Structure 1
Amino acid sequence: MPPPPPPPPPLVDDVIAEILLRLPPDEPEHLIRAALVCKPWLRVICDPGFRRSYRDFHGAPPLLGFLHRRMVIQGDSPARFASTTSVPEFPHPGSDTFDCRHGRVLLHMFPGFLVWDPVTGDRHHLPPEPEEIDWLIYSAAVLCAADGCDHLDCHGGPFRVVFAATHEVKDIILASVYSSEMGAWSAPVCLDNNTCEIYARHVLREGGATPYGLYYTPYLQPRRGTLVGDAVYFTVREGNGIVKYDLSKDRLSMIDPPTPDMYYITLMAMEDSTSLGFACIQGSTLNMWSRMMDTEEAAAEWVQCRAIELEKAIPVSVANPSDKPFVVGFAEGVGVIFVSSGVGLFTIKLSSGLVKKVDEPGKHFSVLPYMSYYLPKTGNGGGHDAADLPHNT
């Protein structure tokens, strides 16, 4: 009997790495299971060079899960991180969540903010916002401040927090920025009463819902802010007014929306990264507009760029057919819109039209998507151990 053939030669690390690079980042359990195959594979996956190549190969980080905000009158949102992949739900530190961006989560833990990295577990407690901002209602955004960062996998490094609020007594909006490098808040800037009054007159002309003459309080919506270029955008309740904070100029301004008469709307960064997007559901149609952020604001115009029929895509509650769907969030980089209905919370992938239910019905107001790469933990931290994965994945 001839001797058995010799075993095949082992794959060299470079070939293994090229194969493992193709594992999809939005299903992290594949990479974690690969790391458990053998020590050489674990060594390849945990190598910093592989991590960099993996990020460069796939581009924008995947959507791992989300948190959400309720309307103010509905009370604080539940302290819960809901996974949309096989990643375990990260233990939430509690308190009210305002933003998820560049691998970080921003929470307001009175009397200050907390910046939390769910993947690494890092937490940074911020001092209270400036006393001059005696706020009535507010929103905030967190963003990476590292020079030259491509934001594919932001963990650690400097960050900024943009805080914008309606004043408790005066009909004005103010903003301030916290820098982790400086360890302090900037002097507040103001969108003055004159600007707000002009906008109130505009709302009245357009038939908006300002019932008390020119008396107008510019209630800043506690929705997630949107970052486009060097500016963060927030919305105002009456007429969907949009407040722009220019980071490079430290200046507040207000721009008109494409439609003033919808309550549930979402701002977004468009794929070209230079245009501000606006989405809402009118009837059964998801309508989207974009606005190029020109250097001359007066020259910028809204252009309707997309209309998606939802009548057959998003199920309607049989018990309450009048409970129409509404848009509650957007995940930049992956082109995913969140839509809430009486049946549940759904994602719509704009490139394919794929609809996926990701949560049960609830009082969703502003969904905060969390996007990051998730790789097996090395001895130096980062990620969860493979044993942390649910047994049914």
Structure 2
Amino acid sequence: LDSPDSVSAARFFLRLDDAPTCCIYCCRHGRVLVGNHHKWSHFLAWDPVTGDQHRIDFPPAVDGREKFLWKGALVCAAGDQGHLHGACHSSFRVVLLACSLEGIFAYVYSSVTGELGSLISTTMWPMEARVEVDCVSTLVGNSVCCLLSLGTRCAILEFDLDSQNLDLIEVPLDAFGIDASLRNDCQLWVTRAGGCGLGLLVLSGFSARLWKRKADCHGVAGWALTNTIELDNFFRCDQGWT
């Protein structure tokens, strides 16, 4: 395209001195969250369109030894109705999830103040718990959710940005039909279901099942299987193929 509609490829190139040890933690609402998982020093919130960069230092207590960082999730701070995320340069927040043998901790960075808030929430956790580092966080409503492994079980860690609380949600016991530690045979993704509802997509073999968390008539939340898709129907070879 001709100027001014064309954008140079160099605009989307982020040069980092420590690039080999950096990884992308989140890409949401027009910004990219980059962190160095070896130095345990800071995040970088980058706007590829404007080139704007915000450095977000880790909390001093998160040293990579007794306390280490799990996840970083970036969300637009604008919540007014009709707001189009990523179409402007509004303020944003970054949720940092860290853990130790004592529990799980949450911190929130605000681009308005340019500061990282103090410890705002903690919850005790089973000793065998570990985060799924290859699973990105999912924004469901105004909550940041990520997958947590509990030995042979799985759970969803939810951080509510409104109430500033952490919650641990067990996945349905019959979601897998197999040992949850067998990651090569069963894959899980936290998803949005029915708009702002919490969902869980389970892929086992050639079967994909979508679960949705909903409340019953007494207000008690639970899981319901809403859809099952047999994927082999889409990949079936014609007769005569070998």
Q: TM-score range by the shorter chain?
A: 0.7 to 0.9
Query: 1:286 and 2:208 equivalent?
Result: yes
Query: 1:256 and 2:170 equivalent?
Result: yes
Partner of 2:115: 184
Matched residues in 2 for 1:266 and 1:92: separation?
A: 29
What does 1:99-178 correspond to in 2, within 5 Å?
A: 99-109=26-36, 110=39, 111-131=41-61, 134-136=66-68, 138-148=70-80, 150-167=83-100, 170-178=101-109
Contact 1:140–1:224 (8 Å) recurs in 2 = no
Largest Rg, 1 or 2: 1
Q: Which runs of 5+ in 2 are unaligned?
A: 237-242
TM-score for both structures, normalised by structure 1: 0.48
Q: Which runs of 5+ in 1 are unaligned?
A: 1-31, 37-41, 47-86, 198-215, 316-393
Query: 1:301 and 2:217 equivalent?
Result: no
SS where residue 241 of structure 1 aligns? strand
Partner of 1:237: 149
Quote how far apart the aligned CAs of 1:306 are: 2.1
Matched residues in 1 for 2:24 and 2:49: separation?
A: 17
Amino acid at match of 1:218: A
Contact 2:156–2:168 (8 Å) recurs in 1 = yes
Partner of 1:268: 191
Matched residues in 2 for 1:314 and 1:136: separation?
A: 43
Give the structure with the larger helix fraction: 1
Contact 2:44–2:55 (8 Å) recurs in 1 = yes
Deviations 1:114-137 (A, max 9, x none): 011223322211122342675345
User: CA separation of 1:92/1:312 partners in 2, compared to 1, >3 Å: closer, same or farther?
Assistant: farther
Amino acid at match of 1:140: G
Matched residues in 2 for 1:137 and 1:184: separation?
A: 17
User: CA separation of 1:181/1:137 partners in 2, compared to 1, >3 Å: closer, same or farther?
Assistant: closer
SS where residue 132 of structure 2 aligns? coil
Deviations 1:162-205 (A, max 9, x none): 111221xx141111111111211122244433xx24xxxxxxxx
SS where residue 311 of structure 1 aligns? helix
Deviations 1:337-367 (A, max 9, x none): xxxxxxxxxxxxxxxxxxxxxxxxxxxxxxx
Deviations 1:199-233 (A, max 9, x none): xxxxxxxxxxxxxxxxx232122221111122111
Matched residues in 2 for 1:281 and 1:217: separation?
A: 24
Give the structure with the larger strand fraction: 2
Contact 2:107–2:119 (8 Å) recurs in 1 = yes
User: CA separation of 1:108/1:284 partners in 2, compared to 1, >3 Å: closer, same or farther?
Assistant: same
- Count of residue pairs the alignment pairs up: 210
Higher RCO structure (Cα 8 Å, ≥6 apart): 1
Matched residues in 1 for 2:214 and 2:70: separation?
A: 26
Amino acid at match of 1:187: S
SS where residue 190 of structure 2 aligns? strand
User: CA separation of 1:155/1:292 partners in 2, compared to 1, >3 Å: closer, same or farther?
Assistant: farther
Matched residues in 1 for 2:13 and 2:235: separation?
A: 30
Partner of 1:226: 138
Contact 2:198–2:213 (8 Å) recurs in 1 = yes
Contact 1:173–1:218 (8 Å) recurs in 2 = no
Instruction: Report % sequence identity.
Output: 28
TM-score for both structures, normalised by structure 2: 0.74
Deviations 1:311-351 (A, max 9, x none): 25469xxxxxxxxxxxxxxxxxxxxxxxxxxxxxxxxxxxx
Quote how far apart the aligned CAs of 1:152 are: 4.2
